[in-house]
Structure formats: structure tokens, C-alpha cells
């Protein structure tokens, strides 16, 4: 039996999607959560000086989206053919772009720049991204982003957009089909159980 050990900070951050894919797939993994004060000691032991890292039977691999795609493919959460996989990757990359834009103001120290970045995020980036995602979901029948079942696309959308909703619960008001998709993923028994036990973190 394959042994998975996942190393990431004790936050959601860029690495939470890997945890969620493991959970949705029902795959056991050792969730090693690293506190920030311990990072200087851990960093020299990593292949690239960054997290997350996934150990598969003792060998280390990295890059969160690559790891998530691998676990999804191994466990029936990827496309059933190359074209479906391309569609999943489109959604994942679009959500990833949104996530990258979302975290920019979080780490901005200058309050004026932070306000400008937040305004751009809420008035330009999010509506543009949600528009694409809404059309993709509708074109596929409104239940799942790709195909007829849960995939990495739905899981990653839930992971990132649920964090938008924590800051602004009206983000999806103009996109009821996206809200329904997010709630569908959130309500899956394995994910719902994980969310009740997940450590509460700001990031």
C-alpha cells in the first residue's frame, strides 16, 4: 500500500487543495503541519526550500498543483479522456490565477496600495474570473465543471472561492450556479467531516 506523507504549513494557503483531494478521494495520508517558527529548521531538508512537499513511499515531490493533479488522476478525480483533462486544467488554472491575485493584498504592507489592490480584485479580477467559471459550469449542465462527476476542478474551486466568501459573502450572489456547485462539494460527507476537524487558520 502506498504511503503518503504531506508536509505543509499549518494554514490553508496554496497547499490546502492537496489535502482536499486526498480527503475527497478517501485516501489516507499523514498530514504533517509545520508551524512557521519551525520552518528555518525544516527548510534545509526540502528539495527546493519551499513547501508543500509530498512524500510518496519516502521519495519527495513538490509543487501543489502538480501534486493535486497526480492524486486526482490516481483516484478517479481527473478527466476520463484527454479532452476532459484539458477542460479540468483550464478551470484549475483559472482558479489558480484568481488565488494568486487574491493573496496579493493580503501581504501588502502599504495601506494605500492594499486598498487599490483589493478594489481591483473585487471589481475586476473576481467578476472576470467568475464569469468564465459560470459559463463553463452552465455549458456543462450546471452540476460539475467537467463531465458528470466530481473532479479536481470542483474541489479547487471550492478551496479557493470559499475563502473569498469568508471575506465577502456576496461574491457569488450573481452566480447562483457557482454557489450551488461550491455547496455541493462542501456538503460531500468526507469533505464536510474534514472541514469540522480542520484547524482554524487565518490564511
| Residue limits of CATH 3.40.30.10 in the chain | 4-76+190-197
Q: Determine the pLDDT at residue 203.
A: 85
* Calpha distance 99→14 (Å, rounded): 8
For the chain, residues classed under CATH 1.20.1050.10 are 82-187
Integer Cα distance of 180 and 108 in angstroms: 32
Does domain 4-76+190-197 fall into CATH 2.60.40.2240? no
Q: Residue 132: what pLDDT?
A: 94
The pLDDT, as a whole number, for residue 103 is 85
Fold designation for 82-187: Glutathione S-transferase Yfyf (Class Pi); Chain A, domain 2 (1.20.1050)
Residue 164's pLDDT band, with cuts at 50, 70 and 90, is confident
Q: Residue 191 in contact with residue 23, Cβ under 8 Å?
A: yes
| pLDDT, position 122 | 87
pLDDT value at position 106?
84
- What's the confidence (pLDDT) of residue 102? 85
Write out the chain in H/E/C secondary structure.
CCCEEEEEECCCHHHHHHHHHHHHHCCCCEEEEECHHHHHHHHHHCCCCCCCEEEECCEEEECHHHHHHHHHHHCCCCCCCHHHHHHHHHHHHHHHHHHHHHHCHHHCCCHHHHHHHHHHHHHHHHHHHHHHHHHHHHHCCCCCCCCCCCCHHHHHHHHHHHHHHHHCCCCCCCCHHHHHHHHHHHCCHHHHHHHHHCCCCCC
Q: What is the mean pLDDT of residues 45-69?
A: 96
Q: Give the percent of the chain with pLDDT over 90.
A: 83
The answer on pLDDT for 55 being more than 90 is yes
Q: What is the pLDDT of residues 6-54, one digit of tens each?
A: 999 999 999 999 999 999 999 999 999 999 999 999 999 999 999 999 9
Do 58 and 112 touch, CB atoms closer than 8 A? Answer: no
- Lowest-confidence range among 61-65, 69-73, 161-165, 178-182? 161-165
pLDDT in tens, 93-118: 999 999 998 888 888 889 999 999 98
Q: What is the pLDDT of residue 107?
A: 84
- Neighbouring C-beta atoms of residue 47, cutoff 10 Å: 9
Amino acid at each position: 500500500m502506498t504511503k503518503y506523507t504531506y508536509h505543509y504549513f499549518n494554514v490553508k494557503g496554496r497547499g490546502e487543495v492537496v489535502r482536499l483531494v486526498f480527503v475527497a478521494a478517501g485516501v489516507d495520508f499523514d498530514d504533517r503541519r509545520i508551524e512557521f517558527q519551525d520552518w528555518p529548521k525544516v527548510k534545509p531538508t526540502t528539495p527546493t526550500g519551499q513547501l508543500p512537499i509530498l512524500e510518496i513511499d519516502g521519495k519527495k515531490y513538490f509543487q501543489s498543483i502538480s501534486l493535486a493533479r497526480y492524486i486526482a488522476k490516481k483516484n478517479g478525480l481527473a478527466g476520463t479522456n484527454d479532452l476532459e483533462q484539458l477542460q479540468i486544467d483550464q478551470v484549475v488554472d483559472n482558479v489558480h490565477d484568481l488565488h494568486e491575485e487574491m493573496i496579493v493584498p493580503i501581504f501588502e504592507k502599504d495601506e494605500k496600495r492594499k486598498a487599490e489592490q483589493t478594489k481591483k480584485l473585487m471589481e475586476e479580477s473576481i467578476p472576470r474570473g467568475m464569469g468564465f467559471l459560470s459559463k463553463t459550469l452552465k455549458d456543462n449542465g450546471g452540476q460539475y465543471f467537467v463531465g458528470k462527476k466530481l473532479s479536481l476542478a470542483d474541489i479547487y474551486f471550492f478551496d479557493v472561492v470559499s475563502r473569498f466568501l469568508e471575506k465577502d459573502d456576496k461574491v457569488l450572489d450573481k452566480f447562483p450556479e457557482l454557489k450551488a456547485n461550491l455547496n455541493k462539494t462542501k456538503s460531500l460527507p468526507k469533505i464536510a467531516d474534514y472541514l469540522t476537524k480542520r484547524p482554524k487558520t487565518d490564511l
